[in-house]
Chains A and B, each alone.
Chain A
C-alpha cells in the first residue's frame, strides 16, 4: 500500500469559546467523516470514539487502523449483544463499499482509544488519524461529549 502524505484537513473552526459544536464533514481522498465524537474518559483508561464515515468514491475502501497522540493504541471494535451478555471484539478492518457509508455508534462498531495519557474532557477536541487502505491517512478531530453520551449533542440521538 502506498503511503500518501497525510492529508491534514482544513478544520476551519470558528472561535466557539471551547464549545464542542458539530464540525462540518471532514473530507479527504473521497472519504468524508461526519460528526466524529468521543466520550469523556479518565486518564489511564479507555475512550470510545464514534462517527459516520462515507466513501464518496467509485471504489470500495477499508478503514484499516487509527491512531491518536492521546492514546497508546487505538483499536477498531464491534460490540456484539449475545442475549443479555455484551461482548466487545476487535475487528481487522471496517469495510466501506463504493458510494457507501458506515456508522460507528454506541452498541455497535466503534474505535477504542486504549491507554489514555490524559483525560478526555467534555467540550474539548481530540485529534485522531484514520488510515484507509486506498484513501490513506485522514486526520479528524473528535468532539468530546459526556461520558455516557449516546450521540453528539445537538443531533438526533443515535439509535440504541
Chain B
C-alpha cells in the first residue's frame, strides 16, 4: 500500500486502506473470508448526488429503505469490474427471490467522462436485472468516491478513449438507513458474500 502514498493528484489521506489499520480485534466474529473490518474512527459513506442509468437524479436517500451492495468501478474495465459485479449478482441470486429482493445492487462509475447514463444502461443489464448504474459530473462522482474512501486515478494518458483507470475494489454493504455495515475485498466469492448477507439481514 505504501506505493499509493506517492500517487499524484488524490487526497490519499482519505483513501481507504483497511490493511493499514485493521487490527484482528476489529474484526467482527461473524466475518466471512474476504470481509475486512470497518475502519475505526473514520466516517465511511454518506450523502451523494448522482444520476441513474435512466437519466434520473439519484441520491443516497433513494437507496434508503432497503439494504444495498455498492461497487465503484468503470464500464471500460474488462477484467476486475465484471468479476466483482458478477459476485454481487450471483450472491443475490444465491439468496433466493425473497431475501435477494431486499438488497439493491448498485454500480457507481468512477469514470464519468465515458460512462454516460445510456452506456451504463447497456452495461448493467448484462449483469443483473435489478443492478442500478450511477454516474454524474466529475465533481459529483469525486464527492461520492470521497465519501466512501474510494481511490481512483487515470492510469494511462488518454489516447482518445483508450485510457485505463486504477481503482480500489471493495464491495460495500449498506443497511436500510444508508450506514456501511460491511466491506468486502476484491476476490470475495459469491458464496461468502451471500453468507455474510444471510447473517446481516434480519
Contact = CB atoms under 8 A, between A and B. Distances in A.
Interface residues of A, number: 36
Contact of B83 (A87, A88, A150): A150
A40 interface: yes
Given A84-B168, A86-B169, A150-B86, A107 B1 contact: no
Interface stretch (B48-56, B70-78, B174-182): B70-78
Interface hub of B17, B18, B185, B186 (most chain A Cβ within 10 A): B186
B3 interface: yes
A106 B18 contact: no
Interface string B1-41: 10110000000000011110000000000000000000000
A107 B170 CA distance: 15
Contacts of A147: 82, 85-86, 126-127
Contacts of B18: 84
Interface string A65-81: 00000000100010101
Interface string B64-94: 0000000000011111101101110110000
B22 to A, nearest CB: 11
Contacts of A125: none
Contacts of A47: 78
Contacts of A149: 86
Given A85-B151, A85-B167, A114-B162, A45 B186 contact: no
Given A81-B186, A86-B186, A87-B155, A110 B78 contact: yes
Given A45-B119, A48-B78, A84-B186, A148 B127 contact: yes
A21 interface: no
Given A45-B76, A85-B168, A88-B164, A148 B119 contact: no
A87 B200 CA distance: 31
A160 B4 contact: no
A46 interface: yes
* Chain B interface residue bracket vs A: 35 or more
Contacts of B155: 87-89
A114 B90 CA distance: 27
Given A82-B4, A84-B18, A148-B86, A41 B78 contact: yes
A146 interface: yes
Contacts of A90: 156
B60 interface: no
B186 A106 contact: no
B58 to A, nearest CB: 21
Interface in B156-176: 156, 161-162, 164, 166-170
A60 B162 CA distance: 31
Contact of A44 (B78, B80, B119, B170): B119
Contacts of A143: none
Nearest to B16: A84
B122 A42 contact: yes
5 contacts: A82-B4, A83-B17, A86-B169, A147-B82, A147-B127
